[in-house]
Structures are given as C-alpha cells and as structure tokens.
Amino acid sequence: MVVKVRIRGELLEYLLELSRDFYPNEFAGFLREKDGILEEVLIAPGGHFGPASAFFNTWLLPLDGEIKGTVHSHPDHVCQPSPQDLWFFSKFGGFHLIICYPYSPEDVRAYDSEGNPVEIEVVP
C-alpha cells in the first residue's frame, strides 16, 4: 500500500511562495487538514526563522484537532530530514513537508512521523 498525502494546489503554491519570501532563512508552520486534504498553514507567532533553523513556541498554537502535520523550508538543496527534523516530526505526528531551494514543486518532499518518504498528491 502506498502512503499518500493530499494537498490543495493553492496551498502548495502558497508554501512555495513563503519559502522564497523567507529565503535565505527557513520558515516553518503547521498544516491543517479538512476532509483528508491539507488545506491551510498556520505560522506560530513570535517565531525565529534563521538560515539553519526555525523556532517557535508551540504553546502559542491554538488547540486544533485539524492540525495534521508540519511544513518547513531548507534554504539549500537538501530535502532530507535532519536529526532535529525527525525529532520534531515525532512530536507532531501526521505528515511533514520539506521544501528545499530553489522552491519549485519538484523541490517538495513529504514524510511520515518516522521520517519515511510519503507520496504527494496535489488536488484542485
């Protein structure tokens, strides 16, 4: 069985734009799911977004059962999760997107909470 994450095309384009806007720094956010499709991103307030990491206080996130994963950018060509990414993935479950430079649709990878690759399906 192929594990797949479904994401709205509009959201994917927005995430690519955010990645470009934050460059040369990373950005990070949380993904909301509705009816099995990732549809929104939440950027936690008061975060620090630097060239090698992103940090935010998860206590500032709303209690939201629709948060099903995370997204962050890598300002280099490496789309593989780092040990820190894997630790973070394990805390939030669901699906996790990494968007690496130069931030085109081909530069997006999805992983499960253990860091295993997951197929991405873009839906209208």
pTM of the predicted structure, to 2 decimals:
0.88
* Active-site residue identified among 10, 17, 26, 40: 26
Dihedral of the CA atoms 119, 55, 100, 80 (nearest 10)?
-60
Domains of the chain: 4-45+65-123 (3.40.140.10)
26 is a catalytic site residue: yes
pLDDT, tens digit (0-9, with 9 covering 90-100), for 36-80: 999 999 876 666 666 666 666 666 566 667 789 899 999 999 999
- The residue whose two tokens read 């394990």 is 90
pLDDT of 117 reads 96
pLDDT, tens digit (0-9, with 9 covering 90-100), for 76-106: 999 999 998 998 888 877 899 999 999 999 9
pLDDT of 49 reads 67
